[in-house]
Structure 1
Amino acid sequence: MTRAASKSVLVTGASSGIGRATALRLAAEGMQVFAACRKASDGEALASEAKPGTLTPVLMDVTSADSIAACRERIAAAADGGLDGLVNNAGVGTSGPMEALPLDTVRAAFEVNLFGQLAVIQAFLPLLHPRRGRIVNLGSVGARITIPFGGVLCGSKAAFESFSDALRLELHPLGLHVSIIRPGSIHTPAVAKTLGGVDEAIAGWPEAARTRYGAMFRSFTARAVAREEAGSPPEVVAEAILHALTAATPRTRYAVGKDARALSLLPRLLPDGLLDRIRLKMLGLPTAFGPAARSGEEETAASGGAAMGR
């Protein structure tokens, strides 16, 4: 293990959940932690919980080039021109049927989960090179096993993992490690943000999509929320991030939290047909082919008959 107390690390998305737990855990090790938040009040609250002098809140929006540049200038001055670690944790969750999600919503998620991450990496690599700093990127088991209604989150995380793999290979000859963290079910406030507001979400879909997917989406959300609320605490992810930043030989991937290893392994072992049935059953969706279409046709026919009888 390398000496933790002498290290300076930037953690993005530190307002809550995994980012918050990570910032506090690294600060507890005596690292100089720069905790990036979008709101000053979140940063101040976080700093009040850390050991004095170990955690510095900084403002940063990963979708704003100006915000990233300003944060970089501040950290470069405060950290004597160099960083020992960058933890890319900022992210958003979006759920819904691919047929009904507005493209602007999809693009906004990718701006945070993919392009914003790359923008931060490009901005801060010049501070990492002098110290051979390490990069830790937060992926998801969803990058390996996509779930229904999770195409945007899983797709953006899968793309980010591919970016991370390329980055790891490119930085290998230069002596910089890149690790990917794959959390499984983790109980954080993000669950409510990602999976809450079901009725409001459905109300924003076209009428046909509400008929086709409404009941399934409600079932999916109930099951998904239950799994996340029964998940591991974010501190288990923070421990994996600490290892990735300090171990003499960090792993390239860490599967952490409830069900993470099993869900990462299943796609390598099972054929698609069987894996599809497992995923559908796990989330309370029909496993037979076509029953939802027949239900929708019957509902439409019944509605039409009632209208003719009035």
Structure 2
Amino acid sequence: MIRPPEDSRKDRRKNPRKADELVVVSGASSGIGAATARALASMGYHVLAGVRTDSEAGTIRAGGIEPVTLDITVPQHVEALARRIADDPERRALRALVNNAGIEINAPVEVLPLALWREQFEVNLFGHIAVIQELLPFLRRSRGRIVNISSVGGVAALPVFGAYAGTKFALEAASDSLRREVSAHGVQVVVVQPGGVRTEMAARSGDLSLELAAGMSAEHQRLYSGLIDATVASNSASLERALPAAKAGAKIARVATTPRPRARYALGTDAAFIIPLTRFLPARLMDALLTMSHRSRKPKTASMPAPESAGSPS
């Protein structure tokens, strides 16, 4: 683990917070991550924007946004990010880390191959933990902030979303433990729980579910095809009225920089409605509420994309 150079309390008093400090945003090639990077840059921060390819770097590069190659499941990428921060030519502090990278591959629990369960946990949970472990020394020095992008699915798991929701439930729990561990060190940990947001990943997830469903056995087709079709159609319809990515990114940028943040923020009207219900409604009633809209819709057909990887935005 790369350690930041030591500084004294006197040095910190002479160098108060500045808007040109560093912020890391993973999964910044598009969607929520790109919007968050742009919003932070517009506030004057220098954003290290995690991307996977040169073409993605060219798309996101702008004033105040420096693309860095970052697949959060590759240790060498994470270590290189830490070296970039430690060797910053202007010796800027790391003000915040926004853990946004993620993938979403949805199928019934019985059907989704274990390899795809593991892939989602590697990206949506273990990759973020690896980045946190590497960058915490910098955040202790700056008394900075970690913003973990969870989901309404980290509180309420829809049918067919078991693996993705499982990763987000786990991220919620890890965030709680981390917040209680590092608050005495001056580091803040905040969770953002988006509902529906119009992003490329969200738009593609339904097509991927339908592709996986097409490969199911005849018995699994009989058991689950109607549920999968209805769930994909319902989620596709909800995206038409979902929060634009630019608005989500602007909100996350404010969460990352506001002086006294809450522990959690729901993002979008659907998240603000569903999350409180999970605290008060009996489980059977929540089951009915979360499945009632997934029974009659038919999906729109679309082309099949490849799964997104560890640098992709959630």
Q: Same fold (TM over 0.5)?
A: yes
Q: Distance in 2 between matches of 1:6 and 1:153?
A: 35
| One-letter amino acid of the structure 2 residue matched with residue 162 of structure 1 | A
Alignment partner of 2:77 out of 43, 67, 79: 67
**Which amino acid is the alignment partner of residue 30 of structure 2?**
S
Map 1:1-310; keep pairs closer than 5 Å: 5-47=19-61, 50=62, 52=63, 54-78=64-88, 80=91, 82-284=93-295
**In the aligned structure 2, how far is the partner of 1:74 from the partner of 1:284?**
50
2:192–2:266 Cα contact (<8 Å) kept: yes
Q: Which stretch shows the higher mean deviation, 75-84 or 30-39?
A: 75-84
Q: Which amino acid letter does the alignment assign opposite residue 26 of structure 1? A: L
Matched residues in 1 for 2:51 and 2:121: separation? 19
TM score, norm. by length of structure 2:
0.85
SS for the counterpart of 2:198 is coil
Deviation of 1:198 (Å)? 4.2
SS in structure 2 at match of 1:5: coil
Structure 1 length as normaliser, TM-score? 0.86
**Counterpart for residue 13 of structure 2:** none
Instruction: Output the aligned Cα RMSD.
Output: 1.7
Structure 2 Cα separation of the partners of residues 73 and 149 of structure 1: 40
Moved over 3 A (4+): none
| 1:33-69 deviations in Å (ceiling 9; x for gaps) | 000011121121111xx3x3x1100001111111211
**For 1:264-298, what per-residue CA distance to the aligned partner results, in whole angstroms no more than 9, with x for missing partners?**
01111211111111111122269xxxxxxxxxxxx
Instruction: State the Cα deviation string for residues 166-200 of structure 1 (Å, max 9, x = none).
Output: 11111110111110000011111112332214442
Describe the superposition over 1:123-146 as per-residue Cα deviations: whole angstroms up to 9, x where unpaired: 111221111111100011111111
Are the equivalent residues in 2 in contact too, given 1:85–1:135 (CA < 8 A)?
yes
Q: Any conservation in 1 of the 2:104–2:205 contact (CA below 8 Å)?
A: yes
Question: Relative to structure 1, is the Cα distance of residues 131 and 198 closer, same or farther in structure 2, using a 3 angstrom cutoff?
Answer: closer
CA distance in 2, matches of 1:43, 1:278: 42
Please say if residues 19 and 43 of structure 2, whose CA atoms lie closer than 8 Å, have aligned partners that are also in contact. Answer: yes
* 1:199 to 1:88, Cα distance in 2 relative to 1, 3 A: closer
Overall identity of the aligned pairs, in %:
38
Q: Higher relative contact order at CA 8 Å, sep ≥6: structure 1 or structure 2? A: 2
Q: Distance in 1 between matches of 2:249 and 2:195?
A: 13
CA contact (8 A) 1:141 1:264 kept: yes
* Higher deviation after alignment, 139-148 or 225-234: 225-234
Question: In structure 2, what residue type is equivalent to 1:58?
Answer: V
Aligned residues: 281
Distance 1:96 1:156 in 2: 14
Higher helix share: 1
Query: d(CA) in 2 for partners of 1:41 and 1:76?
Result: 26
* Greater CA drift, 147-156 or 264-273: 264-273
Judge which range, 167-176 or 187-196, deviates more.
187-196
| Distance in 1 separating the partners of 2:152 and 2:19 | 31
Whole-angstrom CA distance in 2 between matches of 1:151 and 1:4 = 42
Structure 1, 12-21 or 73-82: larger mean CA deviation: 73-82
SS of 2:168's equivalent in the other structure is helix
Work out the CA distance in 1 between the residues paired with 2:165 and 2:70: 24
